[in-house]
Structure 1
Amino acid sequence: MTSSTAIPFADRVAVVTGAGSGIGRATAVALAEAGARVLGVGRRKEVLEETASAHPGIAVLPLDIVEEGAAEEVVATAVERWGRLDLLVNNAGSTAVMPLAETDRSVIGRLFELNVTAPSLLAHAALPHLRATSGSIVNVSSTYGHRPLPGGAHYAATKSALEQLTRSWALELAPDGVRVNAVAPGPTRTDVLVAAGLPDDTVQEMFAYERERIPVGRLGDPEDVADWIVRIADPRGTFVTGQVLTIDGGLELV
């Protein structure tokens, strides 16, 4: 019989937002492979079903997390299905290329709604269940949450806000046995830039520029980030909270 030490998330339940592709999909699969029962949440049903097909431990909920009542529905779905909730991974987010000269109020609002408000409401809805299981929250920030991003300041500001929420919640919830950490990926091969409306050739130019700057000489893969989300969320890591782990191939050093 395989021990729970070998399968750290056995009998535990996780919610992963933005699970239809990229880091979210890789995280859902990695958690399921580590023994968790995973509810993958996202807007696009078809790509969520592709995620679910990757492992029998993954169920999906097509839903826009910025909608009214969405946070409560996500948490209720997981708890009704499996009876508990141990981990919330706030991965869903969006970016925008928006220099100050082109500032658009609606773009700012959408960025903060998805990148800051929605994770806050999900954490709020999950909290009673996380307290009951001594669970944890992992927020997905960005290397640009703590370094400047010319032309993308408002995106960077949302990630900076998420990192500050991480630290503050960690202090607030430590007495309840709930840990809160974050990972901050650098440039990673996902479809987030295409989803932001950038042409493919522009995306490839940006990737090439970033690749040249990264000390290890390559862009990140979603699995690079997912692996560390699983590690920092490991229920055996009870002494790790309030941390922001940068996963960017050394980019923040240059």
Structure 2
Amino acid sequence: MDLDGKVVVVTGGTRGVGAGIARSFVGAGAEVIVCARRPPDVPLPKTEFVALDVRDGDCVRRFFAGLPRVDVLVNNAGGAPYRLLTQAEPERHVRVLELNLLAPLTVSLAAYGHLKRVRGSIVMTGSVSGGRPSPGTAAYGAAKAGLENLARSMAVEWAPDIRVNTLVVGMVRTERSPLHYGDDEGVAAVSRTVPLGRLAEPSDVGAAAVFLASDAAAYISGASLLVHGGGERPAFLDAATVNKET
């Protein structure tokens, strides 16, 4: 999965999963540009940082127009705070949709000309939240469901010039994990719900992104790659009162 000389743009690539993706592409030999509204707290070696709000269409288009080449686009920027639907005005939920669904569409369209010229690749960072109920992050889950569908449609419309795939990511241990899972004991408890017994590391997601962008995945497009450690143990298995010993 050698990507020597390839130019990779990673949105939201300054921390957490995005930083792990950026590091993985650097490790594969790519030239990596990371975009976010603010610079990384810890500089990412061998990457170039560009300040960019992916929700600002004009800025996004100017950014890509100024690049000489793009081989791979990773639409990773996203996220949402925990917020029950009735605890916020609709406009706040709309902003979550803008960041997690509309922005990847805007960025992909801006990068389209570059990617078509080099028969490049797009990797979307999706979420298991898009395939199950997501109480507290309903708008985020809806956006991620839409993102996966958008990727499949792009893969058909833009074939054979551009491959488009989605990483369906589960729980990841990052510097922000305490906000979601609590202290080390909380992280350990959550990890026990994952069949593989641990949360993903950002490098796990990065390795999967590199694979989808590489020639090793040359015949993979419109696919959703599950990066979730085996998924979530169904709650009824723990609630059932029969066959506990088996």
> Which TM class, normalised by the smaller chain length?
0.7 to 0.9
Task: Give the counterpart letter for 2:60 in structure 1.
Answer: A
Root-mean-square deviation (CA), in Å?
A: 2.2
Task: Give the counterpart letter for 1:8 in structure 2.
Answer: D
Which residue of 153, 162, 167 maps to 1:178? 162
TM superposition shift of 1:190: 2.3
**Counterpart Cα distance in 2 of 1:69 and 1:192:** 30
Task: Give the counterpart letter for 2:77 in structure 1.
Answer: A
Partner of 2:199: 219
Q: Which shifted more, 32-41 or 143-152?
A: 143-152
Larger Rg: 2
- Contact kept? 2:193, 2:233, Cα under 8 Å: no
In structure 1, runs of 5+ residues without a counterpart are: 1-6
| Moved segments of 4+, more than 4 Å | 191-194, 200-206
Q: Secondary structure at the match of 1:137?
A: strand
Task: Give the counterpart letter for 1:190 in structure 2.
Answer: T
* Structure-2 change in CA distance of 1:111 and 1:192 (3 Å): farther
Which residue of 54, 59, 62 maps to 2:51? 62
TM superposition shift of 1:233: 0.8
Q: Secondary structure at the match of 1:50?
A: coil
Partner of 1:76: 65
**Counterpart Cα distance in 1 of 2:108 and 2:138:** 25
* Structure-2 change in CA distance of 1:163 and 1:204 (3 Å): farther
* Structure-2 change in CA distance of 1:184 and 1:122 (3 Å): same
TM superposition shift of 1:203: 7.1
**Counterpart Cα distance in 2 of 1:43 and 1:193:** 21
Cα-to-partner distance string for 1:134-188 (whole Å, 9 max, x where unaligned): 001000011111122222221111110110111111111113x210001011110
TM superposition shift of 1:193: 6.2
- Contact kept? 1:147, 1:252, Cα under 8 Å: no
Partner of 1:21: 15
**Counterpart Cα distance in 2 of 1:92 and 1:158:** 12
TM-score, length-normalised on structure 2?
0.87
TM superposition shift of 1:68: 4.0
**Counterpart Cα distance in 2 of 1:74 and 1:191:** 28
Partner of 2:137: 152
Q: Secondary structure at the match of 2:77?
A: coil
**Counterpart Cα distance in 2 of 1:205 and 1:149:** 23
**Counterpart Cα distance in 2 of 1:224 and 1:217:** 14
Partner of 1:50: 43
* Structure-2 change in CA distance of 1:251 and 1:210 (3 Å): farther
Which has more helix, going by share of residues?
A: 1
Cα-to-partner distance string for 1:4-38 (whole Å, 9 max, x where unaligned): xxx62122111001111111111112112212111
In structure 2, runs of 5+ residues without a counterpart are: 235-246
**Counterpart Cα distance in 1 of 2:181 and 2:16:** 19
- Contact kept? 1:71, 1:118, Cα under 8 Å: no
* Structure-2 change in CA distance of 1:46 and 1:170 (3 Å): closer
- Contact kept? 1:95, 1:193, Cα under 8 Å: no
Which residue of 71, 92, 95 maps to 1:110? 95
Q: Secondary structure at the match of 1:118?
A: helix
**1:238 maps to 2:180:** no
Sequence identity (%): 35
Partner of 2:209: 229
Q: Secondary structure at the match of 2:215?
A: coil
